[in-house]
Amino acid sequence: MNDSKTRKIIHIDMDAFYAAIEQRDNPELRGKAIAVGGSGGRGVVMTASYEARQYGVRSAMPSVTASRKCPHLIFVKSNREKYKYASDQIRKIFYEYTDLVEPLSLDEAYLDVTENKTGEKYASVIATEIRARIYEVTGLTASAGVSYNKFLAKIASDINKPNGQTIIRPDQADAFLESLPIEKFHGIGKVTAGKMRDMGITDGKSLKSVDLNALVSRFGKAGRHYYHVVRGIDAREVKPDRIRKSVGAEHTFLKDIDSLEGLKDELGKVVERLLERLGKVDRKGYTLTLKLKTSDFQILSRSYTGETALDNRGILTETSDILLDNADIRGRSYRLIGLQISNFRGDTEDDDSEQPRFDFT
Ligand code: TTP
Ligand code: MG
């Protein structure tokens, strides 16, 4: 594995992607607080313009909450085809520089430009050029992070957002990571950050003071990853055109649940989360799997494979309800419920032969 500090990795992330496209296409929306997503009772904000973010409007926030925080917020319906088109345009630009492009979602990708098609030596020059090209072709702004591994490049792209870029050189990495608050480490979510704070870990410096065994015994395999990344070590390669096998969302309850009604409520929330995640990957899946974990950690799963893609709220709500109804949950209590979409078109040879089916395992 190439673990040296000589690679040149760029992480590119479009600014307020869906919202920026809507503002580009409708001058009346420019400079205004807008949110892309449904404004109705069950609507969720997919993303918000930077003007709206000043009021605390964020992705995945219920639209009613967003309107409360920002009463003049303008809701715009999402238009996936438009976003996909812009995404294809920016990907074409990436390939002008390197074939080592790993898209993470419609608006985000890692590029390995160690060897690149332009012969340019400085990755930061390439990043500036790519951002200028993106603006020229799409009229949209992007931010970039430049470093010698994926972990640092990804964090860097967020630092000077929007329309900015940040380079973290090998000799700057240690100091940067030591002063980084634990919440900013990519891959450390709210829950893990809470656990770390309980252990007295608040930033890179304190994370570094915990030895490998302690991190592994507390966080499992992820502990090993944290141990390395805080030292600036991340040997993951940029994998061109990563194929995702599944997208899932799950929820562990604060208190075990033993009623069907209780589980249905939680299931509704998991459907919303799954929809958000599906929104970020550009694949259509045909199999939905419901997972339940009992209070004594037994796993129960039910799945359904459809003839058409399971890609919208209506079909996901209906199918997951049927799966739950069929799970025969009586007599036990549960600590977790989850959903997963898999069987993306193109993953298997015999996709066309798939018939609708429920699988009870
Ligand atoms: P992000 O890159 O996370 O957000 P963004 O581009 O809107 O804003 P930023 O400037 O902070 O990068 O996501 C890209 C797009 O994916 C976003 O425009 C809308 C969509 N998305 C969802 O549909 N649901 C979500 O929960 C998130 C986070 C994003
Ligand atoms: Mg973005």
Is ligand 1 within 6 A of the CB of residue 258? no
Same domain membership, residue 185 and residue 273: no
Q: What is the mean pLDDT of residues 70-78?
A: 96
- Exposure string of 331-353, with b = 16+ CB inside 10 Å and e = fewer, is eeebbbbbbbbbbbeebeeeeee
CATH number at residue 338: 3.30.1490.100
Same domain membership, residue 259 and residue 345: yes
Let me know how many helices (H) and strands (E) the chain has, helices first: 13, 13
Is ligand 1 within 6 A of the CB of residue 276? yes
In 3D space, the residue among 326, 327, 263 whose CA is nearest the CA of residue 299 turns out to be 327
- In whole angstroms, what is the distance from residue 110 CA to residue 131 CA? 14
Q: 19: CA distance to ligand 1 center in Å?
A: 9
Q: 238: CA distance to ligand 1 center in Å?
A: 21
Q: 164: CA distance to ligand 1 center in Å?
A: 17
- The answer to whether position 167 is within a domain reads no
Range of the domain at 27: 17-80
Atom of ligand 1 nearest to the CA of 60: 26
pLDDT at position 117: 86
pLDDT at position 217: 94
Q: 107: CA distance to ligand 2 center in Å?
A: 6
pLDDT at position 354: 42
Same domain membership, residue 37 and residue 66: yes
Is ligand 1 within 6 A of the CB of residue 37? no
- The answer to whether position 11 is within a domain reads no
Atom of ligand 1 nearest to the CA of 18: 18
Same domain membership, residue 250 and residue 280: yes
- Nearest ligand by distance to the CA of 83: 1
Q: What is the pTM of this model?
A: 0.71
- The answer to whether position 157 is within a domain reads no
* Residue identifier of the C-alpha nearest atom 21 of ligand 1: 46
CATH number at residue 193: 1.10.150.20
Local structure of residue 7 (DSSP, 8 states) = -
- In whole angstroms, what is the distance from residue 340 CA to residue 9 CA? 31
Give the helix/strand (H/E) hosting 340. Answer: strand 334-344
Label residue 1 by pLDDT band (50, 70, 90): very low
Same domain membership, residue 276 and residue 202: no
Same domain membership, residue 26 and residue 65: yes
DSSP string across 65-129: HHHHH-TTPEEE---HHHHHHHHHHHHHHHHHH-S-EEEEETTEEEEE-SS-TT--S-HHHHHHH
pLDDT at position 349: 34
Label residue 359 by pLDDT band (50, 70, 90): low
Q: Residues 309-357: pLDDT tens digits?
A: 898 999 999 999 989 988 888 899 999 999 999 888 754 333 333 455 5
Same domain membership, residue 216 and residue 253: no
Is ligand 1 within 6 A of the CB of residue 83? no
CA distances from 109 to 49, 89, 91, 129, 237 (A): 21, 13, 8, 16, 13
CB neighbours of residue 212 within 10 Å: 12
| DSSP-derived 3-state class of residue 302 | strand
123 alpha-carbon distance from chain centroid: 25
- In whole angstroms, what is the distance from residue 205 CA to residue 190 CA? 19
- The answer to whether position 109 is within a domain reads no
Q: Using alpha carbons only, give the angle 295, 296, 297 rounded to the nearest 5 degrees.
A: 90
Same domain membership, residue 255 and residue 333: yes
Same domain membership, residue 299 and residue 210: no
| Strands lying side by side in the sheet with 285-294 | 246-257, 334-344, 285-294, 299-305, 357-360
* Residue identifier of the C-alpha nearest atom 10 of ligand 1: 15
Helix%, strand%, coil% for the chain, nearest 5: 40, 25, 35
Q: 38: CA distance to ligand 2 center in Å?
A: 19
Is ligand 1 within 6 A of the CB of residue 82? no
| Residues tagged active-site | 108
CATH number at residue 68: 3.40.1170.60
Q: Residues 207-255: pLDDT tens digits?
A: 999 999 999 999 998 999 999 999 999 999 998 864 557 888 989 899 9
Could you tell me the maximum CA-CA distance found in the chain, to the nearest angstrom?
A: 66
- In whole angstroms, what is the distance from residue 45 CA to residue 48 CA? 7
Is ligand 1 within 6 A of the CB of residue 47? yes
Mutate-to-test residue for ligand 1 from 13, 18, 47, highest number of ligand atoms within 8 A of CB: 47
pLDDT at position 317: 95
- In whole angstroms, what is the distance from residue 146 CA to residue 122 CA? 10
Same domain membership, residue 317 and residue 254: yes
Least confident range of 159-163, 179-183, 201-205, 307-311: 307-311
Least confident range of 41-50, 103-112, 168-177, 352-361: 352-361
Is ligand 1 within 6 A of the CB of residue 159? no
State yes or no: cis peptide before 162, omega within 30 of 0.
yes
Instruction: Indicate the angle between helix axes 212-219 and 221-229, nearest 10 degrees.
Output: 140
Q: 167: CA distance to ligand 2 center in Å?
A: 18
Is ligand 1 within 6 A of the CB of residue 107? yes
pLDDT at position 38: 87
Q: Which residue has the tokens 């609507």?
A: 43
* Residue identifier of the C-alpha nearest atom 5 of ligand 1: 16
pLDDT at position 128: 98
Rg (CA), the chain: 22
Domains contained in the chain, number: 3
